[in-house]
Structure 1
Amino acid sequence: MRSGTPLRRLRPLRAGAVALVLSATLAACGTDRPDDSAPGGGTPSSARSAVAGADQLEACPATPSKPPVGDGLPDVSLPCLGNGPDIRLADLRGPLVVNVWAQWCGPCRDEAPYLAQLAKSGKVSMLGIDYDDPRPEIAAEFAQTEGLAYPHVVDREKAVRAALKIAGPPLTAFVDADGKVVHIHRGVLTSQQQLDQLVKDKLGVTP
């Protein structure tokens, strides 16, 4: 990893082979998701400590405090899906790829192998945001099975919704070295080539 990036990565986890049929359009999942009353609910901070498999995920590192950046990530702190401290998004600098996902989102599962492969390259920092998700234990299993070997935080209350204009997952944001969100891709990533080209065009990094 290039020096100075705020998020570290461990060795990639074993990737699973999950394939769902894509819709004709590259639409996001929208806001439909399982009912909050499903087992495993509760606030993100209380749920994460008891989530089965959380200790198998990439730990969230401590990040140095930095002033918020205009056009940067929102100034909110989110709890880690795995182990580690909360992450204040405004502290993060790039080159960084932030992927908003949920375990109930079919297109999120379709694009997961491309994100896992990008993480293996070690060329950019990566962060996942498990969004509007009432089942953290399934989210942890999904991240582990798909080999998403980078830190993930939990945003069950949709704290980043307004800032990133999220209609629903998936959504992928590209953050430059100054902390600015230089591009947001809405909807599913359809190929490794597409993701790698976005990283090259928006962040100046060749995976």
Structure 2
Amino acid sequence: MAMAAALLLAACGNDGGGEPVDDGGPPEVASPLAECDELTAPPDGESPPAAGGEPSPGGGTDQLPELTLPCFTGDEPVELTALRGPAVVNLWASWCPPCREELPALQRYADLTTGQVHVVGVVSEDTRPRAASLAEDLALDFPSLYDRGGDLLASLGLMNLPITLFIDDAGELVYLHLARPYDAAELAELVAEHLGVPPPEGLA
């Protein structure tokens, strides 16, 4: 891949021993997570840039895998290649301790950058009820996609969570973060560096 990737310092993988069992329940469960219908438009609602525009601050780019995933709150499909940024896409699961540490930072950043940056989750290799319970516990409300089989994780050639993808305004993957969990200020600096969005006011 052309994008830069941080060194892997802390992550967790689902080794099978703690793999959640698919309960066969309905695709919709009660959760605070938002719908996903605005993810294919830029956060500010403007038209996406034409192809061949200025390169993103992160340098090299890669296409997102050609996968279609349902929104966590229902079954409406979202094509990953149709996502438009600037966007931060975080792969997470309820069984992943570093995810639990990182998710509140994502929520805080999302709260401070509404209309500037999409913050998107991808619930990976988890059940909807368990993920919904964690979202409730952590007061998460940013939209999340549902990837029960871990297809995105596999397409990226990775095994451990959490993973954060940085997507530019043309829908290109410009940076992949695998390092230790970040706080909101560190996330803001990464977004500024790789997507060119300044840190929001009010973020210590």
Question: The TM-score by the shorter chain falls in which range?
Answer: 0.7 to 0.9
SS at the partner of 2:90?
strand
* TM-score where L is the length of structure 1: 0.74
Correspondent of 2:88 among 97, 101, 116: 97
SS at the partner of 1:126?
strand
Distance 2:106 2:79 in 1: 22
Structure 1 residue 35, shift from structure 2 partner: 3.4
SS at the partner of 2:109?
helix
Indicate if the aligned counterparts of 2:39 and 2:84 stay in contact, CA closer than 8 A: no
Superposition pairs of residues 62-81 of structure 1, within 5 angstroms: 71-81=62-72
Correspondent of 2:11 among 28, 51, 59: 28
Structure 1 residue 62, shift from structure 2 partner: 6.1
Structure 1 residue 63, shift from structure 2 partner: 5.9
Indicate if the aligned counterparts of 2:68 and 2:77 stay in contact, CA closer than 8 A: yes
Structure 1 residue 162, shift from structure 2 partner: 3.6
Paired positions, count: 171
Structure 1 residue 148, shift from structure 2 partner: 2.3
Distance 1:80 1:144 in 2: 17
Q: Residue 142 in 1 paired to residue 168 in 2?
A: no
Q: Residue 108 in 1 paired to residue 99 in 2?
A: yes
SS at the partner of 1:35?
coil
* TM-score where L is the length of structure 2: 0.75
The runs of at least 4 aligned residues of structure 1 exceeding 3 Å deviation read 62-66
Distance 2:71 2:124 in 1: 12
SS at the partner of 2:186?
helix
Give the root-mean-square deviation of aligned CA atoms. Answer: 2.4
Correspondent of 1:195 among 187, 193, 198: 187
Structure 1 residue 145, shift from structure 2 partner: 2.7
Q: Which runs of 5+ in 1 are unaligned?
A: 1-24
CA gap of 1:186–1:63, structure 2 versus 1, over 3 A, is closer
Aligned to 2:27: 48
Indicate if the aligned counterparts of 2:27 and 2:75 stay in contact, CA closer than 8 A: no
SS at the partner of 1:137?
helix
Distance 1:36 1:144 in 2: 18
Structure 1 residue 47, shift from structure 2 partner: 3.9
Distance 1:91 1:164 in 2: 17
CA gap of 1:36–1:84, structure 2 versus 1, over 3 A, is closer
> One-letter code of the match for 2:183?
S
Structure 1 residue 64, shift from structure 2 partner: 5.7
Structure 1 residue 71, shift from structure 2 partner: 1.4
Structure 1 residue 146, shift from structure 2 partner: 1.7
Distance 1:63 1:120 in 2: 16
Distance 1:97 1:158 in 2: 18
